Amino acid sequence: MRYISVLTIAGSDSCGGAGIQADLKTMSALGIYAATAITSVTVQNTTGVQAVQAIRPDIVAGQIKAVMDDIAPKVIKVGMVNNAEIIRAIADTLSPYPHATLVIDPVMVSTSGALLMQPHAVEAFCQCLLPLCTLLTPNIPEAEVLSHTSIRSIDDTERAARHILQLGCRAVLIKGGHLEGQAKTDVLYQADTPPLSFSHPTVTTRNTHGTGCTLSSAIASFIARGSSLPEAIQQAKCYLSSAIEAGKDVSIGRGNGPVNHLFNPEKLIIQ
């Protein structure tokens, strides 16, 4: 018997709402045994990010290899990667595991507006990590950076997605959370299939810290549980919407609070 495991490679959020902490809460709530490789330590709270300290690339690589050689998760989630050296270390370390499913959330800017990926790292990100990627989950500003495209319409979104797919990832989910409206719609693009849309009603709240981390971690968790990619996205959207709804009126901190990851936790799944 074994727990279903997922490795998350991401930064640490000292206020607990995003990054590794959000990943751990999300995966645990969905019955997944979560292993971690920490890429950076951030000094932050709900009002913003004050500082970022990257972990040495060889230590990041060592964490990944230790987990992969022992626990051997079949699904990996990558979140915040601060610089080109860490990106190359992650790509080099994951290369011997080509059959792993890799969900990447390109964390470039925090909810409060702080820059989390150094500008020179974007090229390394595209060249080294995207060719290994099963699913990329950018929001609209991130998709604009990666595609060098201004997104103002559905046609713009599709054009950006097609450009990103040419960089080597197998699928891209462009998230519509930054757009105003009564529903939040994410669109999945793959090379040889029509786009698929996933919508949930908009929840009015300021507690949106870590929503991108939470969604990508939930997608990785449902894939590990055996769902297809579209099924995993739909299930993850439902989980995130419920977590936002459950925490929408809760006050913690003076800024953008977290979602309620543990609104209905499951027991660890044993196979």
Any idea which residues carry the catalytic annotation?
175, 208, 210-213
Cα torsion angle, 175, 179, 182, 187, sign: negative
Cα-Cα-Cα-Cα dihedral sign, residues 139, 141, 143, 149: positive
CA angle 175, 116, 137 (to 5 degrees): 20
40, 34, 4: which is closest to 226 by C-alpha? 4
**230 Cβ contact list (under 8 Å, min separation 6):** 188, 196
Count how many residues are written for the chain.
271
Rounded to 5 degrees, φ, ψ at 32 are -105, 140
The encoded tokens of residue 204 equal 């009015």
Distance between CA atoms of residues 93 and 86, nearest Å: 10
Count of CB atoms situated within 10 Å of the CB of 111: 20
Q: First-to-last CA distance in the chain?
A: 5
List the structure tokens of 235. Answer: 């299930």
Query: Which residue has 């995207």 as its token pair?
Result: 130
Which H helix or E strand runs over 124?
Answer: helix 121-124
